[in-house]
Amino acid sequence: MDDAPHWLALARGLSEVAPGWVACKSVGGAPTEASDLSSAAPVEEWDVLSQEFRRWAAANRLGPVVVCTHEPHVLHLIALDGPLRFFVLSLRARRVVRGATLYVPETLRPVTELDAWGFRRTRPGAEGVILGCTEFGMLIGAGDASVPLFDTTVLHARRAVDLALTE
């Protein structure tokens, strides 16, 4: 079964009912990647998004729908389709890695677009790369990438010098 039409209908419906919702992963690729759709949305919109997911699941004869809240700041909605198939919609209120918040839905707005299929998503492509470990700056240089590189070792050193010179 080709799942792309199902995902596209769901993504359009979610975009219509919740202005803060944005897909963070290619919806066209979702069916080939374990049938999941990662997205971000303010917690205030989770109820209306859950209702839309349930409406979509019922219209596609999927179910039951299972709600999973095991991960902090994330709501997973799972529609079962037989014993070995399922669709997962993940709604993130924030993306946290190692205790640091990478984004909240509001910070994604500047890099969001209305897709040709009619739903909101983050624009494809990176606008820059953060070299987050000390050795990365020794391995990768500006000529190795088509986007700006931000070496955190250099950034931290410059800031430390600036702070030392202002005291």
Q: Between the ranges 6-15, 79-88, 129-138, where is the mean pLDDT highest?
A: 6-15
Pick among 2.60.40, 3.30.460, 3.40.50, 2.60.120: CATH of 4-122 = 3.30.460
Grade residue 84 by pLDDT with cuts at 50, 70 and 90. low
Domain boundaries of the chain, sorted by first residue: 4-122, 129-166
- Looking at mean pLDDT, say which of 32-36, 114-118, 155-159 comes out highest: 155-159
Instruction: State which of 31-45, 74-88, 126-140 shows the largest mean pLDDT.
Output: 74-88
> For 39-50, what is the HEC assignment?
EECCHHHHHHHH
Query: Would you state the pLDDT for residue 27?
Result: 52
